[in-house]
Structure 1
Amino acid sequence: MKKIINLFVLGLIVAGFSSCLKDDSIIGPDAPGATKNIIEFLNPDHIASGTSSTYPLYIKNFDIKPTGSAVVEVAYSGVDVAPEDIAVKVDLAPDAITKYNSDNTKAYTPLPTTLYSLTSLNLVIPKGQRTASFTINVKPDQFDLNAAYALGFKISSASTGVISGNFGTIVVALGAKNKYDGIYTLDQTSPMVDATSAALVGYYPIEQELRTTGASSVTEYDGRYAANNYAHPIKNGTSTSSYGNFSPIFNMDDAGNVVSVTNYFGQGTNSSGRSARLNPAGVNKFTVNGDTKVLQVSYIMVQNGVDRTFFYEKWTYKAAR
């Protein structure tokens, strides 16, 4: 009897874990212990929001051209393919933007209707298939680079399947790439120093991205080494790691001087208590001459009000992303 009870408890634990899962990589046909199918948005990009956010945020940046587009997919995720044609209705959800701003202390505003159009939001996942999609068509050359635009989307109904509670509503931030945006080779000009642990050292040279966050600001994006996320890779002994809740945002003036460094995850408001600040002893200059772009910057990761990690870096442009 005791053995039966133990097996029953174990089954409840496994079931509890499975209810939180997402996408083919976790609950799909190749996943162990795959669950029944649900209707959800697939990730249009890497998730840019933290785990405390009610709705996931994705960021799509476009070259400054007259037109650009982003595809958003809806999936019948899980073990089976669609047993029949599944009608899925998607609606714009401006309230999701408001909630995201409240959860994350952000200031996204709905993209003006004059700057975008949508293909039909009445989708059909064909029998035997898994996905359907719609397209956001935008006019990046008319974007205000100082604005933080976004669109919220919600799956409002589906003729078959259960709508996901975690990925049934999403927020997609939409912006144009500024002149600093791109793929860079990141190297150090002096060794990184972590005041709390000699085992934590710099990981250089590596390839990283700088992604637009405003007219004259960019943030570091990894997606290669430590995490598919906004992160700064480091080494913990011989292992690759990164600081959680930390990615520097570099803010430049009109002359390319780095006037401040902040943390993408908030200035001390994240669960790690981490913020960033400029080290005024550095060169702190972003030089742009055509496709020759070099950022030399020194900055500090601050944790719970105390200077913890000191970075001395040179970013050299490689290519557009």
Structure 2
Amino acid sequence: MNYSIKIAGLFLFGMAVTSCLKDDMNLDPDTSTNVVEFKNPSSFASPSGSTYSLYSKSFDLAPEADYPVTVSYSGAHVAPQDITVTLGVDTAAVTQYNNEQEEEYDVLESNLYTIPATVVIPKGQRTAQVVIKVKPSQFDFAKNYVLPIQIKSASTGVVSGNFGTILLAVKAKNIYDATYESTGYVYHPTAPRAVHADKHMETVSPTTVKVELGDLGGSGYFANVTVDPATNKVTITPAAGAAGAPYTQFNTGLPTPYMPAWANASKANNTYDPATKTFYLRYGYMGGNGWRVTEEILVRQ
């Protein structure tokens, strides 16, 4: 009998505790607290679990460019009155991100951007747009820039712990930076093969782009392609940290026995055609058992 009474008592106590917990838990979205945060300006570039979210965007080499970012009053409700959001920059966030992810991002210098001190989310609305001005033509191509923008305060609502500070990786891109359709051939002593793939040419400097060497990007082989704007002649050199021996460009012909029937095409001599946005490349390097030579045409997508 006493045992039954104890069981009943424990059951009633458990019900009471559960009831109290349910009263304390806020499961109704209509009574939840809104947060003030940045909306994602683009796709994530940071790994899962990162303290700060990183986004990446490239800009043409212009004196000034706009980077619009949205500030949001996120939750069940619209803004009950005009909400003034104070903005700033959190350089410590870049240091923390570099330490966490073993990266080497540089904080964008203050003379290379302007950001409004405040933005107002109007009463009855959920968002407001902030237009950040950046100066791509003055970017140092040797640096890996990040702008760490921060919501410092909001007149109404709670600043988000997850998206109250975000990192904007900003890059300048030259006129050759794009995705190209590559067609050509790798003349290899033991594994000759055709090349047909989409390749991205990435900005290195105002006149240089980095591109996968042949079809060996997965093995770390990349070349720098530099265009002389006056002549549209192309110079090919190994990219920084690229695998393999120094690459050689062949402007007048491939070393025998790698000369194909179409190798003497009039434009297949390391040039860039600005009218069609097409690269004609011929390059190679000496391996352990002979030359590895690639000849390809890259047409901008």
Q: TM-score, normalised by structure 2?
A: 0.59
Shift of 1:164: 1.6
Q: Which residue of 2 aligns with 1:293?
A: 279
1:76 and 2:73 are equivalent in the alignment: yes
Residues 1-321 of structure 1 mapped to structure 2, 5 A cutoff: 36-118=33-115, 120-185=116-181, 210-212=201-203, 214-215=204-205, 216=208, 250=222, 252=224, 254=226, 255-259=235-239, 278=243, 289=272, 290=274, 291-293=277-279, 316-319=298-301
Instruction: Verify the 8 A CA contact 1:34 1:78 in the aligned structure 2.
Output: no
Structure 1: gaps spanning 5 or more residues = 19-26, 28-32, 191-203, 221-245, 262-276, 299-311
C-alpha contact 1:152 1:169 (8 A) present in aligned 2? yes
**Alpha carbons 1:185, 1:206 under 8 Å: kept:** yes
Q: Distance in 2 between matches of 1:58 and 1:143?
A: 18
Specify the SS of the correspondent of 1:256: strand
Equivalent position amino acid for 1:90 in 2: L
State the AA in 2 paired with 1:252. N
TM-score (norm 1): 0.56
Aligned length: 227
CA contact (8 A) 1:258 1:297 kept: no
For each residue in 1:17-44, what CA deviation from the matched residue of structure 2 results, as whole angstroms up to 9, or x when unmatched? x9xxxxxxxx9xxxxx997532111112
C-alpha RMSD of the superposition: 4.5
Answer yes or no: is the 8 Å Cα contact 1:152–1:171 preserved in 2: yes
Q: CA deviation at 1:219?
A: 8.3
Distance between the aligned counterparts of 1:205 and 1:104, measured in 2?
A: 34
Partner Cα separation in structure 1 for residue 78 and residue 280 of structure 2: 49
2:236 partner letter: G
Structure 2: which 5+ residue stretches go unaligned? 1-10, 187-194, 213-217, 227-234, 251-269, 285-293
| Structure-2 change in CA distance of 1:292 and 1:188 (3 Å) | closer
Q: CA deviation at 1:111?
A: 2.0
SS of structure 2 residue aligned to 1:39 = strand
